[in-house]
């Protein structure tokens, strides 16, 4: 007896053969590809439309419909409500370092941003014309996408050791197919997709331009939401450790978009390490607000005279995979935390998660904090909490083998 996926692959091949030559010659758009991978129907005249009659794609669509509906109810709708209540005037730029392809939470927290900059080690990869895949290729592609998203749909973060395998399997590889799925499931319409690279001066190069050695390679996606406002998503594959950022122009490029807002979650506590001090200092210097869980920047590195702190949820300390990362100052700060009704980060269960909103105070022309300021303009009126004289954390080496163990 044939396995379900074998039968599905045969059915897909028959549907491809049945497509008219004129239709097969048409261009498959990035937006239709994204919708197809996300289990959403492409446009009626798309060459991909016949493939939606394939039982394997229909099974894939039902699976994603249920998974994303649960995620929307459990987390995303609550995160958007939290952001609407607590962020008054977010900046146009949103930085999300150590993100992987996680546009889903970038959009949920900072839906009003117009430029998103995501970065991680994983390569952007590519998504070929799905109608030209070999026999059984579409079925395998859909299965790999499902596997790649299994942890973030369940826990709110990627397990990178697993993702490294999934994102290198088959002809559809890298972060781009995941970005496609998240854009489509977030209600976005993709208008343009281009490979990009940043040279060591921070200049952006498009397509086949030669960016020279040590370039940070990535992808630029232009898209729009339901309101039609055009936005830009950058994803760069780059090493954010001190030696890595020293040889690329990635941070110089990011500085051209400053000031922005930052999101840090499930970041393997890398910013606790001295080997990531450069990117840590960049985030602090170029962010008007920082939303993070405790895996982000330790309190000791914030200047309490320049920042206000708004803790939410419960700080229960790091999970067992990250020993030595407990912060007494964080625990003290969170004794005055406000409640939140969604889970995030490694302690992903509701009422076990912590979230810190840090808001930089406005400064005058000399860089000094304006003493007349009574409330930071980037945040809705809240009662800030203050840490007790934070001390620098004891140095702890990053996890063995890979500093990308969890995200």
What's the pLDDT score for residue 364? 66
What mean pLDDT comes out for the span 360-388? 61
Helix axis angle for 176-185 and 30-37, nearest 10°, is 80
Cα–Cα dist 279/28, whole Å = 38
What's the pLDDT score for residue 207? 83
Q: What's the pLDDT tens digit per position in 312-333?
A: 999 999 988 899 899 999 999 9
- Asked whether 33 and 127 are in contact (CB, 8 A), the reply is yes
CA-wise closest residue to 54 among 36, 31, 78: 36
The residues with which 205 forms a beta bridge, in sequence order, are 197
Higher-confidence residue of 315 and 395: namely 315
CA-wise closest residue to 354 among 385, 390, 388, 389: 385
What's the pLDDT score for residue 382? 59
Which distant-in-sequence residues (6+ apart) come within 8 Å of 150 by Cβ?
Answer: 162
Average pLDDT, the chain: 83
What's the pLDDT score for residue 48? 95
Q: What's the pLDDT tens digit per position in 139-178?
A: 888 888 887 787 666 554 444 555 454 445 556 778 999 9
How far CA 244 is from CA of 202, 247, 277, in Å, comes to 14, 6, 12
* Residue 357: CB atoms within 10 Å: 23
CA-wise closest residue to 98 among 124, 122, 78, 74: 122
Under the banding of pLDDT at 50, 70 and 90, the label for residue 128 is confident
How far CA 341 is from CA of 5, 49, 264, in Å, comes to 39, 40, 19
Tokens 């995160």 identify what position? 79
Under the banding of pLDDT at 50, 70 and 90, the label for residue 96 is very high
Cα–Cα dist 130/281, whole Å = 42
Q: What's the pLDDT tens digit per position in 7-16?
A: 444 344 434 4
Of all residues in the chain, what percent carry a pLDDT higher than 90? 62
- The three-state secondary structure class of 356 is strand
Cα–Cα dist 305/371, whole Å = 11
How do strand 216-224 and strand 189-198 relate by DSSP bridges?
A: antiparallel
What's the pLDDT score for residue 127? 87
In this model, does residue 400 exceed pLDDT 60? no
The residues with which 261 forms a beta bridge, in sequence order, are 94, 289
Hey, CA dihedral for 98, 146, 180, 237, is it positive or negative? positive
How far CA 305 is from CA of 87, 361, 362, 363, 386, in Å, comes to 21, 8, 11, 11, 10
Q: What is the DSSP string of 246-301?
A: HSSSHHHHHHTT-SEEEEE-S-TTGGGSGGGHHHHHHHHHHEEEEEE-TTS--GGG
CA-wise closest residue to 290 among 91, 79, 152: 91
What pTM did the predictor assign? Answer: 0.83
Q: What's the pLDDT tens digit per position in 183-225?
A: 999 999 999 999 999 999 999 999 878 898 899 999 999 999 9
Laid out side by side, the sheet with 230-237 consists of 204-206, 189-198, 216-224, 230-237, 115-120, 93-97, 260-264, 287-292, 354-360, 307-313
Tokens 């697993």 identify what position? 162
What's the pLDDT score for residue 143? 81
Cα–Cα dist 162/328, whole Å = 32
Cα–Cα dist 310/289, whole Å = 11
* Residue 61: CB atoms within 10 Å: 17
In this model, does residue 399 exceed pLDDT 70? no
- Asked whether 159 and 166 are in contact (CB, 8 A), the reply is no
What's the pLDDT score for residue 3? 45
What's the pLDDT score for residue 387? 56
367 secondary structure, DSSP code? S
């Amino acid at each position: 007896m044939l396995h379900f996926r074998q039968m599905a692959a045969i059915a897909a091949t028959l549907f491809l053969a049945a497509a008219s030559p004129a239709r097969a010659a048409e261009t498959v758009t990035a937006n239709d590809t994204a919708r197809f991978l996300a289990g959403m129907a492409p446009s009626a005249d798309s060459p991909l439309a016949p493939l939606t009659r394939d039982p394997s794609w229909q099974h894939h669509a039902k699976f994603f419909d249920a998974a994303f509906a649960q995620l929307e109810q459990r987390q995303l709708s609550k995160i958007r409500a939290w952001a609407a209540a607590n962020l008054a005037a977010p900046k146009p730029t949103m930085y999300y370092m150590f993100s992987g392809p996680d546009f889903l939470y970038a959009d949920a927290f900072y839906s009003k941003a117009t430029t998103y900059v995501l970065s991680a080690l994983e390569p952007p990869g590519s998504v070929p014309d799905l109608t030209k895949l070999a026999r059984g290729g579409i079925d395998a592609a859909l299965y790999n996408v499902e596997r790649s998203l299994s942890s973030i749909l369940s826990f709110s973060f990627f397990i990178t050791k697993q993702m490294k395998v999934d994102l290198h399997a088959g002809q559809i590889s890298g972060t781009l197919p995941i970005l496609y799925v998240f854009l489509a499931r977030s209600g976005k319409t993709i208008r343009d997709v281009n490979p990009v690279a940043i040279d060591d001066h921070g200049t952006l190069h498009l397509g086949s331009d030669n960016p020279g050695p040590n370039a940070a390679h990535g992808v630029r996606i232009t898209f729009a939401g339901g309101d039609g406002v055009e936005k830009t998503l950058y994803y760069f594959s780059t090493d954010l450790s001190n030696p890595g950022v020293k040889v690329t122009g990635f941070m110089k490029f990011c500085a051209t978009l400053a000031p922005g807002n930052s999101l840090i979650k499930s970041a393997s506590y890398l910013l606790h390490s001295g080997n990531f001090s450069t990117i840590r200092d960049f985030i602090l210097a170029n962010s008007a607000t920082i939303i993070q869980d405790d895996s982000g920047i330790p309190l000791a590195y914030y200047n309490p005279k320049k920042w206000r702190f708004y803790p939410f949820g419960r700080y229960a300390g790091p999970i067992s995979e990250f020993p030595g990362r407990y912060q007494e100052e964080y625990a003290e700060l969170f004794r005055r935390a406000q409640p939140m009704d969604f889970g995030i980060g490694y302690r992903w269960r509701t009422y076990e998660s912590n979230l810190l909103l840090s808001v930089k105070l406005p400064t005058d022309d000399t860089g000094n904090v304006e003493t007349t300021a009574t409330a930071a303009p980037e945040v809705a009126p809240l009662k800030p909490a203050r840490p007790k004289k934070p001390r620098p954390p004891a140095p702890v080496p990053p996890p063995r083998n890979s500093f990308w163990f969890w995200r």
